């Protein structure tokens, strides 16, 4: 991701903004791109408009995070607070979408798993290391160590 740019009057150039990463940089890029248009969120090119729906204790509320002219600790803290609302509003429609999909009938959660015929040769590293493919196309070894221990046991018994 490219760092957000701020216009520097002294040099008549746009310079990289030290955002410190995190919510400030994400909010900045989202607002400037202007591509988000969801039921409760809209990025305008200069801001992010948020509509918080009515809850049991609060009325409906409108918030707007405007891209600040500078980056400092106060702006980063302010962006973090707005980003909490942003994250909640992005997730808000998801339970309804899931319920709609579930009401439509059964959906396959995992298609056929294809891997090499001999799992002793399939020793993945990192996050995928906990899943081991067996010859009849089932997934086994759910814990990170189980897949590795199982594969090593098979490898040690191979001729």
Give residue-wise pLDDT tens across range 3-54: 667 777 888 887 776 666 788 888 888 898 899 999 899 999 999 999 999 9
Give residue-wise pLDDT tens across range 91-145: 998 888 877 777 776 666 655 656 555 544 445 555 555 555 555 555 555 544 4
Ramachandran class of 37: left when φ > 0, alpha when ψ lies in -120 to 50, beta otherwise: beta
DSSP 20: -
- Mean pLDDT for 146-154 is 46
* C-alpha–C-alpha distance, residues 153 and 76, integer Å: 51
Q: What share of the chain is helix, strand, coil (3-state, %, to 5)?
A: 40, 20, 45
């Amino acid at each position: 991701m490219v760092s957000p740019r701020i216009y520097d009057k002294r040099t008549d150039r746009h310079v990289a903004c030290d955002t410190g990463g995190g919510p400030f940089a994400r909010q900045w890029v989202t607002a400037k791109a202007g591509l988000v248009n969801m039921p409760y969120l809209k990025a305008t090119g200069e801001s992010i408009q948020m509509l918080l729906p009515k809850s049991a204790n609060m009325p409906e509320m409108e918030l707007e995070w405007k891209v600040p002219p500078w980056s400092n600790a106060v702006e980063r803290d302010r962006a973090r607070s707005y980003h909490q609302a942003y994250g909640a509003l992005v997730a808000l429609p998801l339970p309804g979408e899931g319920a709609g999909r579930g009401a439509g009938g059964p959906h396959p959660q995992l298609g056929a798993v294809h891997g090499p015929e001999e799992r002793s040769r399939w020793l993945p590293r990192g996050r995928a290391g906990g899943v081991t493919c067996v010859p009849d196309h089932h997934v086994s070894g759910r814990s990170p160590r189980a897949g590795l221990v199982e594969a090593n046991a098979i490898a040690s018994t191979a001729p």
